[in-house]
Chains A and B, each alone.
Chain A
Amino acid sequence: MADAATAAPEVRPLVPHLTLGETRDKDYLNGTKCTTCGAMYAGPRLFCSKCSGEGPFETVRLSGTGKVYVWTIIHQATPYVKAPYIAAIVDLDGGVSINTNIVDIEPVPASMKFGMKVKMFTEKVSEDREGNSYVAYRFRPA
């Protein structure tokens, strides 16, 4: 087993509900469906908080498109983030809502409409001290 000092740097998803492909255009959002009650979640689950069940669970691929449910524009942000930026809850087509940045649009209220269609893409957002890269998803107007 390679020790930490010599392990090759990895490319990792920033969140567990993002599955990385060989190239960025092959990345997708993964989710879980509870086969007992039908509840759908972003990411993997061992337990269902809707029916208290322990599965069986079905791994599903979530849609890369959706509609903006609500949004806000953050002006006072943590130091490593460029502000102002838009954060939104997106209802993905076919189920599951996620928290995301909306980019490629001016971060002002006039840019945003409730229900506007958006689509996902992914990009590297950070690197840690060991040189591992982290990829996150964001959404842009469709």
Chain B
Amino acid sequence: MREVAIIGASMIKFGRYPDRDVSQLAARAGNDALKDAGVTMKNIEALYSGNLYQTSGSGQRILQQMGQTGIPVVNVANACATGSTAFREAYFAIASGAYDMVMAIGAEQMGKQGLLGSRGDPATSLEGRVGSYMMPAVFGMAGMEHSREYGTQMEHFALASVKNHFHSTQNPLAQYQKESPLDEVMNGRMIAYPNTLLMCCPTGDGAAATILCSMDKARQFTTQPIKVAASVLTSDPYTDRDLSMPDINTLTRNAAKIAYEQAGLGPKDLSQVELHDCFATAELLHYENLGLCADGEAGKHIASGAPWIGNKIPTKYAEDVAPFADKSYKPSTTAVVNASGGLLSKGHPLGATGVANIAEIVFHLRGQAGGRQVEGSKVGLAHVIGLCSACTIHILTK
């Protein structure tokens, strides 16, 4: 298979767009990506559309905005990994030699229900009657498993919100760009223990797009082609409790191992990571799942400053963080996590997220990330995990 380059990337500011339909959001991102790559719809040979709520026909409806050129369209649904799976299909389209230039777009209009919405006849609904299956509960329990095993405290999880909200103040594309000190996160309205309101990603609409072509042609279009060094997708393997308690860890570890092998590098080589912090508890679990720190050390890792922009705790938070830090802990990786502010700040328009993470890494690798730029970023990892379950990991290099 041949090497694949990203030559165009874009993302719209995530937020509420009640006056737009999802195809219009997608077309905005798509046109911006075309401009970024210096190409037009005439150059695009296939479209991969990631959209969860209106999957069927989503790509065609995007072309009805961007240009009905009659190209092949594949509409992708894969839970939260929808957008990144669309990207992966676009990657294979080029790598296989089937096409020379394709586009992957992820977009979602969330409506009002967000991640708490319930469906079906209330009389027969299991939710709240036979346990809970909603995302806050699932990720609450996942965090509690870590507490059970390692004694991780609620404050450690809350630091993910402190960090990511701090990062978001430099990201004009994030839905929310507001800091939240530790006590504000801790004292917020409890949603599902231990996740408070600020430890849950907000609901919003959004779209992001990428243009891919073969590496040997990429320099015709850009001076900074970004190489797709790894593209991995896994589902949840059989584990004892998985059918009752979704296991978000095993499939992520499986994906990470394959991704590092494909790219020929390891966690120490990463400049930054955009991982799936749908809830603050999830972020800490993924530090370990992605090998950014050893098992059990996620709390120490975030309190050490390692995953923060600049690899240190901002001075104004130092006193709040100190009680939860371990002075003897030496981080072995310096990858900045969620410089974008993460899903906790950007929101999580389901189909868009997987493409937006990739676009974010592209911005940094090109030195275009403005006030949140990770200095000298050379290698980025984009991770998404959707329940039921699907995990994608992409590693991009300069």
How far, in whole Å, are A11 and B309 apart by their CA atoms in the complex? 58
Closest to B243 in A: A41
Interface residues of B in 79-125 (CB under 8 A from A): 116, 118, 121-125
Contact with A along B238-265 (1 / 0, CB 8 A): 1011011100000000000000000000
A70-B148 contact given A78-B128, A87-B131, A134-B124, CB 8 Å threshold: yes
Chain B residues proximal to chain A, CB less than 8 Å: 116, 118, 121-134, 136-137, 140-142, 144-145, 148, 189-194, 238, 240-241, 243-245
**Would A98 and B131 count as touching, CB distance under 8 A?**
yes
Q: A14 to B127, Cβ gap below 8 A?
A: no
Q: Does A21 contact B (CB under 8 A)?
A: no
Question: Cβ of B126 and Cβ of A73 under 8 Å apart?
Answer: no
Asked if A42 and B121 make an inter-chain contact with CB atoms under 8 angstroms apart, the answer reads no
Determine whether the beta carbon of A76 is less than 8 Å from that of B238: no
Q: Which of A77-94 contact B (CB under 8 A)?
A: 77-81, 84-85, 87-89, 91
Closest A residue to B236 by beta carbon equals A49
Residues of A in contact with B (beta carbons under 8 Å apart) = 14-15, 39, 41-42, 49-50, 69-81, 84-85, 87-89, 91, 97-101, 109, 114, 125-129, 132, 134, 136-138
Question: Are A74 and B192 within 8 A (Cβ)?
Answer: yes
A128 touches B137 (CB 8 A): no
Query: What is the CA–CA distance of A49 and B172 in the complex, to the nearest angstrom?
Result: 45
A101 to chain B, nearest CB (A): 6
| Given contacts A50-B238, A75-B191, A126 and B131 within 8 Å (CB-CB) | no
Contacts of A85 in B (CB 8 A): 128
Contact of B193 among A49, A72, A78, A97 (CB under 8 A): A72
Which residues of chain A are within 8 angstroms of B128 by Cβ–Cβ distance? 74, 77-78, 80-81, 85, 87, 101
- How many whole Å from B319's CB to the nearest CB in chain A? 25
Q: Decide if the interface of chain B is mainly helix, strand, loop or mixed.
A: loop
Nearest-Cβ distance from residue A100 to partner chain B, whole angstroms: 5
Distance, CA A75 to CA B200, complexed state (A): 13
CB–CB A99/B122 < 8 A: no
Q: Given A78-B125, A80-B128, A137-B130, are A109 and B193 also a contact pair (CB < 8 Å)?
A: yes
A79 to B118 Cα, complex, angstroms: 9
Residues of A within 8 A of B125 (CB): 78, 80
Complex CA gap A39/B239 in Å reads: 10
Q: Are A128 and B190 in contact, with the CB atoms below 8 A? A: no
**In the complex the two chains form, is A78's CB within 8 Å of B127's CB?**
yes
Nearest neighbor of B193 in chain A, beta-carbon distance = A73
| Bound CA span A4–B303, Å | 61
CA distance A101 to B126 in the complex (A): 11
Looking at A15, A76, A79, A101, the one whose CB has the most chain B CB atoms below 10 A away is A76
Which residues of chain B come closer than 8 Å to A72, judged between CB atoms? Answer: 132, 136-137, 140-141, 144, 192-194
Q: Could you tell me the distance between the alpha carbons of A72 and B190 in the complex, rounded to whole angstroms?
A: 11
Nearest chain B CB to A28 CB, angstrom units: 15
Pairs of residues from A and B, 3 with the lowest C-beta to C-beta distance, nearest first = A99-B131, A81-B128, A72-B140
Assembled-state Cα–Cα distance A73/B130 (Å): 14
Q: Cα distance A101–B127 when bound, in Å?
A: 10
A70 touches B141 (CB 8 A): yes
Q: Which residue of A lies closest to B240 (CB)?
A: A97
6 A-B residue pairings within 8 Å (CB atoms): A14-B130, A74-B192, A80-B128, A91-B241, A97-B244, A99-B132
Residues of B within 8 A of A80 (CB): 122, 125, 128
Q: Are A136 and B130 in contact (CB under 8 A)?
A: yes
Distance in Å: Cβ of A65 to nearest Cβ of chain B: 17
CA distance A76 to B118 in the complex (A): 12
A97 pairs with B241, CB closer than 8 A: yes
Q: A78-B116, A78-B122, A81-B128 are in contact. List 7 more A-B contacts (CB 8 A).
A: A50-B238, A70-B142, A73-B140, A78-B128, A99-B244, A126-B129, A136-B129
Contact flag A97-B245 (CB < 8 Å), given A75-B191, A134-B123? yes
Find out whether the CB atom of B124 lies under 8 angstroms from the CB atom of A81: no
Complexed CA–CA distance, A79 and B128 (Å)? 10
Question: Given that A39-B238, A73-B190, A75-B191 are known contacts, is A99 also in contact with B129, CB under 8 Å in the complex?
Answer: no
Min CB gap B282→A, angstroms: 13
CB distance from B337 to the nearest CB of A (A): 24
Chain A residues with Cβ under 8 A from B243's Cβ?
41-42, 49
Please judge, given known A-B contacts A71-B141, A72-B137, whether A129 and B131 are in contact too, CB under 8 Å.
no
In the complex, are the beta carbons of A70 and B131 less than 8 A apart?
Answer: no
| Residue of A78, A84, A100, A109 touching B131 (CB-CB under 8 A) | A100
**Is there an interface contact between A126 and B122, defined as CB atoms closer than 8 Å?**
yes
CA distance A24 to B125 in the complex (A): 20
Q: In the complex the two chains form, what is the Cα distance from A87 to B243 in whole Å? A: 16
- Whether A76 contacts B191 by the Cβ 8 Å rule is yes
Specify which chain B residues have a CB less than 8 angstroms from the CB of A41 in the assembled complex.
243
Contacting residue for B123 out of A15, A75, A98, A129, CB 8 A: A129
Are A76 and B136 within 8 A (Cβ)?
yes
In the assembled complex, which residues on chain B have CB atoms less than 8 Å from the CB atom of A127? 123
